[in-house]
Amino acid sequence: MTVAEALASGGVEPREARLLLAAATGFSEATVLAFPERLLPAEVEARFVDSVARRRRGEPVAYILGHQEFYGLRLAVNPAVLIPRPETELLVDLALARDFRSVADLGTGCGALALALKHHRRAAQVVAVEASAGALAVARRNGVALGLAVDWRHGRWCAPLGAECFDLIVANPPYVAAGDQHLAALAFEPPEALVSGPDGLDAIREIAAAAPAHLVAGAWLVLEHGMGQDAAVRGLLERAGLEEVRSWPDLAGIPRVTGGRR
């Protein structure tokens, strides 16, 4: 099989075929594309054919490649973690617009939020909590690979925070309603990273109830949530006693992040 024949493989998008082929060869996309007539060595062809078969079965490209870019950082991912989404970068932008010397990231997954914040605020104390031991292992490995010192803690939401208070708490918790039709397209990702009760708000209810006690006076709690959940999340934060509660829209104008101040 030549490079050109590989790129013409059916059932995957051309952009994905280029990524999978580059990964199978170990060279950059530009290098691979420069020699369309080149014959692929047998082991490269076998790796590529296997990747394409996985992609055709619906596996996300990030799991096949083993990494995903988030806020300019290359993060290792595997099926123990949610693949960080570009829309979550809004939460990082909002966090970095605030002044903080300490931050907690609840439900860190592969460490996306914690690592992006530590990368941009080297002097800050960054604590990251995760209930899944498998996910926390991925996050730890990402911290080591990037040389970013995050205090990784295993446990449920605020439980591992003890009596500590922070200048900022961020979370991108699971917020999909059980039985939601979109879950079919997310079958490769861990359900505990996605689903949160009948209306998708169970995790946010728990965080809204527990997190304010871990904020110093004037500190923000900022949460990502699903489309159409903003009014409910504002209500939960207001009932938890937070002030200046508001939501922020994503690039499509849809409110996807809500926060409040102690």
- Contacts with ligand SAM, residue ranges (CB under 6 A): 81-82, 84, 88, 107-109, 112-113, 129-132, 135, 156-157, 172-174, 192-193, 203
What is the distance, to the nearest Å, from the Cα of residue 124 to the centroid of all Cα atoms in its chain?
A: 20
* Residue whose CB is less far from ligand SAM, 32 or 194: 194
Sheet holding 151-154, edge to edge: 151-154, 125-130, 102-106, 166-171, 215-224, 255-261, 243-249
| Rg of the chain over all Cα atoms, to the nearest angstrom | 20
Does residue 101 contact residue 167 with C-beta atoms inside 8 Å?
Answer: yes
Pairwise CA distance, residues 162 & 166, whole Å:
12
State the minimum distance, in angstroms, from the CB of residue 93 to ligand SAM: 14
* Residue whose CB is less far from ligand SAM, 173 or 255: 173
Three-state DSSP state, 176: strand
State the minimum distance, in angstroms, from the CB of residue 34 to ligand SAM: 34
Pairwise CA distance, residues 71 & 112, whole Å:
8
DSSP string, 83-150: PPPGGGHHHHHHHHTS--SEEEEES-TTTHHHHHHHHH-TTSEEEEEES-HHHHHHHHHHHHHHT---
State the minimum distance, in angstroms, from the CB of residue 125 to ligand SAM: 18
State the minimum distance, in angstroms, from the CB of residue 252 to ligand SAM: 18
* Residue whose CB is less far from ligand SAM, 24 or 90: 90
State the minimum distance, in angstroms, from the CB of residue 41 to ligand SAM: 36
DSSP string, 219-259: EEEEEE--TT-HHHHHHHHHHTT-EEEEEEE-TTS-EEEEE
* Residue whose CB is less far from ligand SAM, 98 or 156: 156
* Residue whose CB is less far from ligand SAM, 24 or 104: 104
State the minimum distance, in angstroms, from the CB of residue 135 to ligand SAM: 5
* Residue whose CB is less far from ligand SAM, 84 or 212: 84
The size of the chain, in residues, is 262
